[in-house]
Structure 1
Amino acid sequence: MNACIIGAGISGLTAAWTLLEQVPQEFRDIHIIEKKNHVGGLVNTRYIGNKFYDFGPHIFHSHDELILSLMKQELKERGFYDIKTIAKSYWNKKFYDYPLSVDSILNLPKELQRKVLIELYKLCPNNKHEATNFSEFVRGLVGDTLYKIFFEKYTKKLWGISPTQIPSEWAPKRISFRVNDKTFFGVNEWEVYHKNGIKEITNFLFEKIQRHKNKVRLLFNSEVLSITNTGGAYKLRVLNKNTNEIVRLDCDILISSMPLDELLLKLGAKPKPLIFRSSIVVFLELNREFPILPANWIYLNEENYPFTRIFEQPSLLNKYHGNTWITIEYHINKDSKMWKMANPEIVNRTTQFLESLGLVSQEDIINWDVWKEAYTYPVLTFETLENLKYNTKLINNFKNVITVGRLGKFRYMNMDETISDTIRTIKNKIIRGA
Structure 2
Amino acid sequence: MRVTVLGAGLAGLSAAVELAGRGVDTVVMEKESCSGGLASTVRRDDFCYDLGPHRFHTLNPELLSFIEDLPGINLLELERVSRIRLLDRYFSYPLSMGNVLSTMPLRQGASMMFSYIGEKVRGLVAKREQDSFEGWVLSRFGRGLYNLYLAPYNRKLWGMEPSALSADWASQRITVPSLGGLVRETLFPSREKVRSLVSSFHYPEGGIGEIAGALEKKLASLGGRVLHSTEPSEIKKTESGWKITHQAGEFFCSSIVNTIPVPDYVALLGELLPPEVHRASRNLKFRALVFLSVLLDRNVPHKDHWIYTSEDRYLFNRLSITRNFHSEIPSQVVFEFSCQPGDTIWNMTGEELLASTVPGAEHLGLFSAHAVKGFDLSRVSHAYPVYDLSYRESASVVLDALDGVEGSVTCGRQGLFRYNNMDHSIEMGLIAAKEVAGEATVREHFSWNENTWADG
| TM interval, short-chain normalised | 0.7 to 0.9
Aligned: 1:31 with 2:27: yes
**C-alpha distance in 2, partners of 1:75/1:340?**
39
- SS of 1:60's equivalent in the other structure is coil
- The residue type paired with residue 389 of structure 2 is F
Code of the residue aligned with 2:202 in structure 1: it is V
Q: Which moved more, 1:103-112 or 1:122-131?
A: 122-131
What is the CA-CA distance between 1:252 and the residue it aligns to? 1.2
Deviation readout 1:296-317 (Å, 9 max, x if unpaired): 2110011332211111110112
- Over 3 Å counting, the alpha-carbon distance change for 1:341 and 1:291 in structure 2 is closer
> Which residue does 1:42 correspond to in 2?
38
Q: Which amino acid aligns with 1:159?
A: W
Note closer, same or farther for the CA distance 1:121–1:95 as it changes in structure 2 (3 Å cut).
same
Shift of 1:341: 2.1
Tell me what 1:109 maps to.
Answer: 105
Report 1:14-413 matches (<5 A).
14-21=14-21, 26-27=23-24, 29-71=25-67, 73-74=68-69, 78-101=73-96, 102-124=98-120, 131-173=130-172, 174-176=175-177, 179-180=190-191, 186=196, 191-213=201-223, 216-231=224-239, 233-239=241-247, 245-246=248-249, 248-268=250-270, 269=273, 270=275, 271-272=278-279, 273=282, 274-288=284-298, 290-317=299-326, 324-355=331-362, 357=364, 359-413=366-420
1:64 shift after superposition: 3.1
Question: Do the aligned partners of residues 137 and 345 (structure 1) sit closer, same or farther apart at CA in structure 2, a change above 3 Å counting?
Answer: same
Displacement of 1:158: 1.2
Deviation at 1:41, TM superposition (A): 1.3
SS of 2:439's equivalent in the other structure is: coil
**C-alpha distance in structure 1 between counterparts of 2:115 and 2:108, whole Å:** 10
Given candidates 420, 424, 429, the residue that maps to 2:431 is 424
The offset of 1:84, in angstroms, is 0.9
Report the more deviating stretch, 300-309 or 384-393. Answer: 384-393
Cα separation, 1, equivalents of 2:80 and 2:17? 29
Output the CA distance in 2 between the equivalents of 1:130 and 1:380: 17
- The 3-state SS of whatever aligns with 2:297 is strand
After TM superposition, give the deviation of residue 209 of structure 1 in Å: 0.9
Q: Secondary structure at the match of 1:62?
A: coil
SS at match of 1:254: strand
| Structure 1 runs, 4 residues or longer, greater than 6 Å off | 125-129
Displacement after TM superposition at 1:207 (Å) = 2.1
Q: How far has the Cα of 1:255 moved from its partner?
A: 0.9
Residue 454 of structure 2 corresponds to none
Aligned pair count reads 417
Q: 1:64 to 1:412 in 2, by over 3 A?
A: same
Q: Distance in 1 between matches of 2:291 and 2:436?
A: 36
Runs of at least 5 residues in structure 2 that lack an aligned partner in the other structure: 442-456
CA RMSD of aligned residues (A): 2.6
CA distance in 2, matches of 1:2, 1:305: 49
Quick one: structure 1 residues 11 and 359, their matched pair in 2 at CA, closer, same or farther if it must change by over 3 Å? same
Q: Write the letter of the residue equivalent to 1:109.
A: P
- CA-CA distance at 1:100 after TM superposition: 2.7
Shift in Å at residue 160 of structure 1?
A: 1.4
Q: Is the 8 A contact 2:131 2:389 kept in 1?
A: no
Q: Deviations over 1:234-262 (max 9, x none)?
A: 111111xxxxx32x111111111111111
**CA displacement, residues 354-376 of structure 1 (integer Å, 9 cap, x when unaligned):** 34555433222112111111111
Mapped contact 1:32–1:219 kept (Cα < 8 A): yes
Q: Do the aligned partners of residues 386 and 203 (structure 1) sit closer, same or farther apart at CA in structure 2, a change above 3 Å counting?
A: same
State how far apart, in whole Å, the 2-side matches of 1:12 and 1:419 are: 8
Going from structure 1 to structure 2, the CA distance change for 1:77 and 1:189 (only over 3 Å counts) comes to: farther
Letter aligned with residue 250 of structure 1: F
Tell me, in whole angstroms, the C-alpha distance in 2 between the residues paired with 1:100 and 1:75.
Answer: 34
